[in-house]
């Protein structure tokens, strides 16, 4: 069982959210790569530093977006970063031999997919 996280506009809108990724017990956080230049502002991330920078710029420095989980709970930026980094630094989670199977990329030790998942 896992929880999906999204960056959504902090205003009423019909626009699609940006799927950040999923946190599941026993696994490293699984990021959804983003590279859409059609949205305004463009969303591009393929590494953890890019994700953190984009989220900080758009949820802390600007309140244009919020981070939400699939249960419609707003997750503060610092709480989200702590979630990812705690999972990344937990030896049991980090050493799961299946972390990078199933067509998942290993980007500096972080799990990324360019295919859509839920």
Residue 14 pLDDT exceeds 70: no
Strands 43-45 and 74-75: unpaired
Q: How confident is the model at residue 43 (pLDDT cuts 50, 70, 90)?
A: confident
> Among residues of the chain, what percentage have pLDDT more than 70?
97
The average confidence (pLDDT) of the chain is 89
Domain boundaries, the chain: 2-113
Q: Read off the pLDDT of residues 47-77 as tens digits, 9 standing for 90 and up.
A: 999 999 999 998 999 888 999 999 999 999 9
Confidence at residue 1, expressed as pLDDT on a 0 to 100 scale: 73
Task: Encode 25-68 in three state secondary structure.
Answer: CCCCCEEECEEECCCCCCEEECCHHHHHHHHHHHHHCCCCEEEE
Cα 36 to its chain centre, rounded Å, is 15
How far apart CA 30 and CA 115 sit, in angstroms, is 11
Q: Read off the pLDDT of residues 77-105 as tens digits, 9 standing for 90 and up.
A: 999 999 999 999 999 998 999 998 888 99
């Amino acid at each position: 069982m896992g929880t999906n996280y999204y960056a959504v506009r902090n205003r009423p809108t019909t626009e699609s959210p940006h799927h950040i990724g999923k946190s599941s017990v026993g696994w490293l956080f699984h990021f959804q790569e983003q590279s859409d230049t059609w949205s305004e502002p463009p969303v591009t991330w393929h590494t953890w530093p890019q994700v953190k920078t984009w989220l900080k710029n758009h949820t802390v420095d600007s309140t244009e977006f919020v981070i939400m989980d699939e249960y419609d709970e707003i997750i503060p930026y610092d709480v989200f970063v702590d979630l990812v980094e705690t999972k990344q630094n937990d030896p049991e989670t980090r050493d799961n031999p299946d972390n990078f199977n199933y067509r998942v990329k290993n980007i500096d030790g972080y799990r990324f997919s360019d295919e859509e998942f839920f």
